[in-house]
Chain A
Amino acid sequence: MLRLVLQRLLALVPLLFIVSVLTFSFTSLLPSDPVDLILGDNGTQEQYEMLRERLGLNEPLVSRYLDWLGKAVQGDLGSSFFNSVSVTGAVMQRLPVTLSLTAMSALIAIIVGVAAGVAAALRPQSWVDRVATIGATFGQAVPNFWFGLILVAIFAVNLRWFPAIGFTPLLESPWQWLRSVTLPSLALGLSSSAAVARQVRSAMVGVLQQDYIRAARAQGLSARRIIIRHALTNAMVPVVAIMSFQITVLLGGALIVEQVFAINGLGTLAIAAVRQQDIPMLQGLVLVMVGLVVSVQLITDILYGLLNPKARPS
């Protein structure tokens, strides 16, 4: 298992390198001069030159990249063009918000998706299957932020069960945290559960036709044991693979759903950064997100190995 993890980590090096080059090159791709952006219209030529010097913009591109990379590796992603706050600090402050939203949505997507997919697969063509299939088809067409708005209208504005906006940190009050993430996580997670349910259903239908399921039945094992232990373990192999992709999608979706609920997460930070052309902030956001996605991939790779003995390096 350690070997698998090391192998995967090693494979990440070229990926992270390219991402860092891509991220860094934003600065040079930007149509407007960052110094002008920071100074606004009133800056003098002297201030302009000073700031260029301070930002290191007079250095050659490669040495700027190496300098930036060296700091980034140590966790220093520079400071915002706009208000000089530390990018690392700003991102790390918002990260738990977006992360708890993504994690809750993933949990909902898995629970609902697996339950619906298994129920549908056990009785193909039954009403359960039809409802699940129709639900999954609809789920993939509903924009998650619109679904969020509808949830707000029903459960926050009308029924007043949940707050319509805002986010309470988990450590501040676990109960309020749960209340504040429920609606956004449902909006995000249910649309993802549609994709998961489709995948689980087709994987499960395939697995249930396998010889080893028939053999397990012939051996007189109970239907429950066969479905949960023998079939689901194998059906989860492809599901884990798409779950890794789905979490990337959820992370992206969280950026938008945050806006519906006025949650101050990475999405709000990213939108503000785009409007202000705050390049260091965007660079930092991209790097952190890639880091998250890559960690999720690493975890799913390990899970994949646990579920599928053939994938383990021997």
Chain B
Amino acid sequence: MTARTTTHRARPRRLALPSASQVITGAAIAVLVALAFMAIFADWIVPYDPLRQNLIQSLQPPSAQHWLGTDDLGRDVLSRLIYGCRIAVLAAAEATGLAVLLGVPLGLFVGYRGGWWDWCVMRFVEAIVSIPGIMVAIVIIAILGAGLHKAMIALGILYSTSFLRLARGVVLAEREEVYVRSARVIGASDGRILLRHIFPNIAPPLIVQITLTVGAVLLAEAGLSFIGLGVQPPDASWGTMLNTAASYMDLDWFLAIPPGIAIIVTVLSVNLLGDVIRDSIGRGIAIRTEPSTPSVRFAPTARETGQSDQAIAPGPDDVLRIDGLQVVISQRGGSEVPVVTDLSLAIRKGETLGLVGESGCGKTITGLAITGLIGAGGRITHGAIRLDGADLTALGQKQMVSVRGNEVAMVFQDPITSLNPAFTVGDQIAEVLQAKKGLSRKDAWARTIELIDRVGIPRPASRANAYPHELSGGMAQRIAIARALSCNPKLLIADEPTTALDVTVQQEILDLFRDLQDEFGMAILFVTHDLAVAADICDRIAVMYAGEIVETATVDALFARPRHPYTAGLLNATPHGSDHTPPLPTIKGSVPRPGTWPAGCRFANRCEFVEERCLSRVPLAGKDTRLVRCVRADELRLETGR
């Protein structure tokens, strides 16, 4: 079969080149069609009678008369190989067919019936599955006798167990669905429910399981024939041909090649086709549709327009200073979109800066940019991130590893998933102390207990031995905080650290942050979408919208008089007490996705005060810490409802 592959190659085409997966799928289908063709028309296309012996011409190498040579009895290998196709198709059809016919109805029945039937059959299936498959087949063959059809009955019985389990699983899942229950309520018979309502759901996984089984049957048939329990000599099957070849490996190793390649190519084609089917079923539809990328023009970044925001005046005790940071992420297709543009901010020692905005405005990515953890899909294109004066964007991977933990640490939103489920919480803190501080095991553990005690967890010594899933969210977040502070970082980035927690716990965690800041003196970048939380914990707030800062102010100033319409909108959307009867106002629309930002003021399409002027780029302007990115900031008197 494979010996006939054509040698000329198509010229490389420049246009409309089919994708690799299309080529593979096409090749797999071609192989299987060729296999079926040879199986059906074997009698007409073989050059010789596959059983005719010619002892004078035994073990001949490939030649013009015998393309694949001859075997030990002088039989033509190519002819035997082609007849082997018929056996392979027959074997796959028989065994798979029997497995489906036996397994699916039985699985449907026991799944639907449940109770004792189900229990007994499933224990039986478990017993079969706990014996190596080939041994099950061997035992069944011992009862039935050897031979192709009997061996295929054995394989059919063996593989019916996987169809049984599949059908049963689908029934168990569907049985309690509303439409099945309602069919039962209106009095549909059990048989009708099984056939009309449940059976259609089996089709997709069934097709996948069939392709898997066909591949397995082909290999098993070859194996059984190889050990002499399947197809019996002199009939030709790929397995028996290999059995012959095994005796002559020292004289003529080539005998093993044609049947081996035939098995591999066939099984490979079946498996690859199965993968394609599985993938297309998994996607729901087989047609590939590329997500349409919005054609909206990217907003020009400040650098491109030459209009940079005014730089923030450097302060003497700044721990962190970010100047003109721009971050881009690559989209599918390779193009890059900016997600943070021209972002500048500074945080002093012992200060807490809130970074506030709706989700999707670039807050989290800013936090990750500081730690150098944006990930493979994104990169910093412009700007500097200075920690105590040293630019982190200029550091290599190794140096960043030493900065993280020692100088900057992070606390994340979901405390449970941020801790490794496989290790105890104490172990995870001690590990950091050992790896970063070089402490001994014993010292690290002692310090761990101190830290756990310090973050307000009672009985720290025993809690250190708990696994993350054994702790409440609040406890786990305290552990995460203890770990983040274990190396005394200068800057703590807290990314929505209270969002996943109960309201009562939130307050405790915020208090803990304040306490620890007094003790450790670190600066905190507090990322949150919740203005009430920010008001509670922060000294200053920077409001972010669509990848840029739109307003910064001290908490008091911001709450007393917001100057950007977006800030005002956020403040109005924050619930504060129950004495207000009107429904909570919302900001209409949502944050535009990166790549779809308006060219001028990015808030323009959601702003009720929009004017002609807003359609061109707006700089961040103001004095000291009071900056705003709005051309109408001075003339607007924004209502906050407070």
Whole-angstrom distance between the alpha carbons of A261 and B227 in the complex?
12
Contact of A146 among B242, B412, B418, B480 (CB under 8 A): B242
Contact B267 A150 (CB under 8 A): no
Say yes or no: is B272 at the interface (Cβ < 8 Å to chain A). Answer: yes
Contact B242 A149 (CB under 8 A): yes
The contact sample of 18 A-B pairs, CB cut-off 8 A, is A19-B127, A19-B130, A137-B271, A137-B272, A145-B242, A146-B256, A217-B404, A219-B432, A220-B401, A220-B403, A230-B420, A234-B421, A249-B132, A256-B134, A259-B226, A277-B142, A290-B130, A309-B422
Secondary structure of the A contact surface, majority rule: helix
Say yes or no: is B159 at the interface (Cβ < 8 Å to chain A). Answer: no
B-chain residues with CB within 8 Å of residue A217 when the two chains form the complex: 373, 404
Whole-angstrom distance between the alpha carbons of A252 and B134 in the complex?
5
B-chain residues with CB within 8 Å of residue A171 when the two chains form the complex: none
Question: Interface with A: B58-66, B176-184, B243-251, which one?
Answer: B243-251
B-chain residues with CB within 8 Å of residue A307 when the two chains form the complex: 422
B-chain residues with CB within 8 Å of residue A222 when the two chains form the complex: 401, 435
Contact B143 A212 (CB under 8 A): no
Whole-angstrom distance between the alpha carbons of A279 and B143 in the complex?
9
Contact B420 A234 (CB under 8 A): yes
Given contacts A220-B403, A220-B405, A233-B422, contact A141 B134 (CB under 8 A): no
Contact B409 A219 (CB under 8 A): yes
Of all chain A residues, the one with the shortest Cβ separation from B128 is A22
Whole-angstrom distance between the alpha carbons of A31 and B373 in the complex?
70
Interface residues of A in 202-226 (CB under 8 A from B): 210-212, 214-223, 225
Question: Interface with B: A47-55, A60-68, A268-276, which one?
Answer: A268-276
Contact A255 B134 (CB under 8 A): yes
Contact A271 B229 (CB under 8 A): yes
Interface residues of A in 113-142 (CB under 8 A from B): 137-138, 140-142
Interface residues of B in 532-589 (CB under 8 A from A): none
Contact B421 A308 (CB under 8 A): yes
Contact B256 A153 (CB under 8 A): yes
Given contacts A153-B256, A293-B130, contact A219 B142 (CB under 8 A): no
Contact A271 B131 (CB under 8 A): no
Of all chain A residues, the one with the shortest Cβ separation from B137 is A252
Given A22-B128, A145-B222, A215-B410, 7 more A-B residue pairs with CB atoms under 8 Å apart are A143-B264, A149-B249, A221-B435, A248-B133, A252-B133, A256-B227, A274-B142
Contact A212 B133 (CB under 8 A): no
Say yes or no: is B467 at the interface (Cβ < 8 Å to chain A). Answer: yes
Say yes or no: is A1 at the interface (Cβ < 8 Å to chain B). Answer: no
Kindly supply a per-residue 1/0 record for chain B positions 186-228, scoring 1 wherever the CB is within 8 Å of any chain A CB and 0 otherwise.
0000000000000000000000000000010001001100111
Say yes or no: is B41 at the interface (Cβ < 8 Å to chain A). Answer: no
Contact B138 A270 (CB under 8 A): yes
Contact B484 A219 (CB under 8 A): yes
A-chain residues with CB within 8 Å of residue B404 when the two chains form the complex: 217-220
Say yes or no: is A263 at the interface (Cβ < 8 Å to chain B). Answer: no
Say yes or no: is A106 at the interface (Cβ < 8 Å to chain B). Answer: no
B-chain residues with CB within 8 Å of residue A145 when the two chains form the complex: 222-223, 226, 242
Contact B260 A143 (CB under 8 A): yes
Interface residues of A in 228-281 (CB under 8 A from B): 229-230, 233-234, 248-249, 251-253, 255-256, 259-260, 267, 270-271, 273-274, 277, 279
Q: How many A-B contacts are there with CB distance less than 8 Å?
A: 209
Instruction: Point out residues on B near A: beta carbons under 8 Å.
Output: 123-124, 126-128, 130-135, 138-139, 141-143, 145-146, 215, 219, 222-223, 226-229, 242, 245-246, 249-250, 253, 256, 259-260, 263-264, 267-268, 271-272, 371, 373, 401-406, 409-410, 412, 414, 417-423, 431-432, 435-436, 467, 469, 480, 483-484, 487
Contact B406 A150 (CB under 8 A): no
Say yes or no: is A14 at the interface (Cβ < 8 Å to chain B). Answer: yes
Of all chain B residues, the one with the shortest Cβ separation from A312 is B467
Contact A219 B483 (CB under 8 A): yes
B-chain residues with CB within 8 Å of residue A146 when the two chains form the complex: 222, 242, 256, 259-260, 263-264
Whole-angstrom distance between the alpha carbons of A272 and B401 in the complex?
63
Contact of B123 among A18, A223, A229, A285 (CB under 8 A): A18
Contact B256 A150 (CB under 8 A): yes
Given contacts A211-B414, A212-B419, A290-B130, contact A15 B480 (CB under 8 A): no
**Cβ distance B276 to chain A, nearest Cβ, rounded Å:** 12
Whole-angstrom distance between the alpha carbons of A164 and B248 in the complex?
12
Say yes or no: is A289 at the interface (Cβ < 8 Å to chain B). Answer: yes
B-chain residues with CB within 8 Å of residue A271 when the two chains form the complex: 138, 227-229
Given contacts A271-B138, A310-B467, contact A15 B421 (CB under 8 A): no
Instruction: Point out residues on A near B: beta carbons under 8 Å.
Output: 14-15, 18-19, 22, 26, 29-31, 137-138, 140-143, 145-146, 149-150, 152-153, 157, 164, 210-212, 214-223, 225, 229-230, 233-234, 248-249, 251-253, 255-256, 259-260, 267, 270-271, 273-274, 277, 279, 282, 285-286, 289-290, 293-294, 297, 307-310
Given contacts A141-B271, A221-B405, contact A212 B418 (CB under 8 A): yes
Of all chain B residues, the one with the shortest Cβ separation from A291 is B130
Whole-angstrom distance between the alpha carbons of A271 and B151 in the complex?
14
Contact B135 A270 (CB under 8 A): yes
Contact of B124 among A18, A260, A286 (CB under 8 A): A18
Sort A-B residue pairs by CB-CB distance and give the 8 closest, nearest first. A220-B405, A252-B132, A220-B404, A252-B134, A141-B267, A153-B253, A218-B410, A141-B268
Contact A309 B469 (CB under 8 A): yes
Contact A215 B419 (CB under 8 A): yes
A-chain residues with CB within 8 Å of residue B436 when the two chains form the complex: 219-221
A-chain residues with CB within 8 Å of residue B227 when the two chains form the complex: 255-256, 259, 267, 271
Whole-angstrom distance between the alpha carbons of A136 and B567 in the complex?
55
Contact of B127 among A15, A256, A267 (CB under 8 A): A15
Whole-angstrom distance between the alpha carbons of A248 and B126 in the complex?
13
A-chain residues with CB within 8 Å of residue B133 when the two chains form the complex: 248-249, 252
